[in-house]
Amino acid sequence: MGARRGRRIFGLSSRCGSAITLADVKETERASVSILVGSRGRGSNMAAIVEATRAGRVPAKVQCVVAPASDVPAVAVAEGLGVPVAVVPPGEGYGERLVAALAGSEWVCLAGFTRLLPDEVLRRFPRRVLNIHPSLLPKFGGKGMYGIRVHEAVVAAGEMESGCTVHYVTEHYDEGEVVLQMRCPVMPDDTPASLAERVLAVEHQAYPEALRRVLNEQPS
Ligand code: GAR
């Protein structure tokens, strides 16, 4: 298969991370995180997490970005940041192939991933998968509520505030214990697009902060 350098295709086989070396002890103290992006993923939350880990604000290392196709915009963003990419197309054996791509990861962050996560991944990473959603859950969540649809619903409902939620992932859409919510106002003249932009800026603060919190709480 014609995988570009640093990018692996998980139609069939195994892992995307490199083995931890003993060369840098600090590396071993940082949690290994992989980020799953969806087919529409721009990769801005993924980039915010990568930057926060590199700036030392989050004690983690992003091992891999997992995308459903190589032409997802987030793939180019990840490659620009020098983060390894694994391409795992949905289809037969999707759960097992995702688990293989995530080998070596301790945590998984969903960023713009709009499918239900296969059971195989939830079983392999119990209480170790986070998601970000662009509303104050439980409001404006559930199946079919993602991206601009969420902001359209918030504006249509005449809400005075919105924001984002980082939560643990379960087998249901947008459920699971909330780690962190960050709020922002909805302005009277907001369109779904202008609200989306404001919420996204909040997301870029919230996701790294939520990851920092769960890592600090968790015994390694
Ligand atoms: C983000 O706004 C995220 O909250 C949303 O998709 C966008 C991905 O943007 N996720 C959902 O709606 C999940 N229900 P990004 O690719 O720039 O990070």
Three-class DSSP category at 149: helix
Q: Is the CB of 167 inside a 6 Å radius of any atom of ligand 1?
A: no
23-42 as b/e: b if 16+ CB within 10 A = eeeeeeebbbbbbbbbbebb
| Pair of tokens at residue 192 | 């779904």
**Token pair in block for residue 18:** 């490199």
Give the whole-number percent of the chain exceeding pLDDT 70.
Answer: 86
The chain-wide mean pLDDT, for the chain, equals: 90
Q: Is residue 52 part of a domain?
A: yes
Q: Which residues pair with 166 in a beta bridge?
A: 132, 180
pLDDT of residue 29: 80
19 pLDDT band (50/70/90 cuts)? very low
Is residue 14 one of the residues assigned to a domain?
no
Q: Which of 43, 179, 16 is nearest to 105 (CA)?
A: 16
- pLDDT tens digits, one per residue of 162-208: 999 999 999 999 999 999 999 999 999 999 999 999 999 999 999 99
Catalytic (active site) residue 133 = yes
Q: 150-187: b or e for each residue (b if 16 or more CB lie within 10 Å)?
A: bbbbbbeeebeebbbbbbbbbeebbbbeebbbbebebe
- What is the CA(196)–ligand 1 centre distance, in A? 10
Whichever domain contains 69, its CATH number is 3.40.50.170
The whole-number pLDDT of residue 5 equals 52
CA 132–ligand 1 middle distance (angstroms): 7
Q: What mean pLDDT is predicted for residues 120-139?
A: 98
| 133 ligand 1 Cβ < 6 A | yes
Q: Is 39 contained in some domain?
A: yes
Longest dimension (CA), the chain: 55
Residue 124 lies in a domain: yes
Is the CB of 39 within 6 Å of ligand 1? no
pLDDT at residue 40, as a whole number: 84
What is the pTM assigned to this prediction? 0.89
**Best substitution site from 39, 40, 45 to test ligand 1's pocket, by max atoms within 8 Å of Cβ?**
45
Tell me: pLDDT of 25 over 60: no
Q: Are 33 and 105 in contact (CB under 8 A)?
A: yes
Q: Which domain holds residue 192?
A: 30-216
Q: Examine residue 211 and state whether it is found in any structural domain, yes or no.
A: yes
105 located within any domain: yes
- Total count of domains within the chain: 1
- Residues 157 and 137 sit within 8 Å (Cβ to Cβ): no
Per-residue pLDDT at 109: 98
pLDDT on residue 10: 61
Could you tell me the distance, in angstroms and rounded to a whole number, from the CA of residue 20 to the centre of ligand 1? 30
Please indicate, yes or no, if residue 7 is contained in any of the structural domains: no
Does the pLDDT of residue 63 top 50, yes or no?
yes
Residue 35 lies in a domain: yes
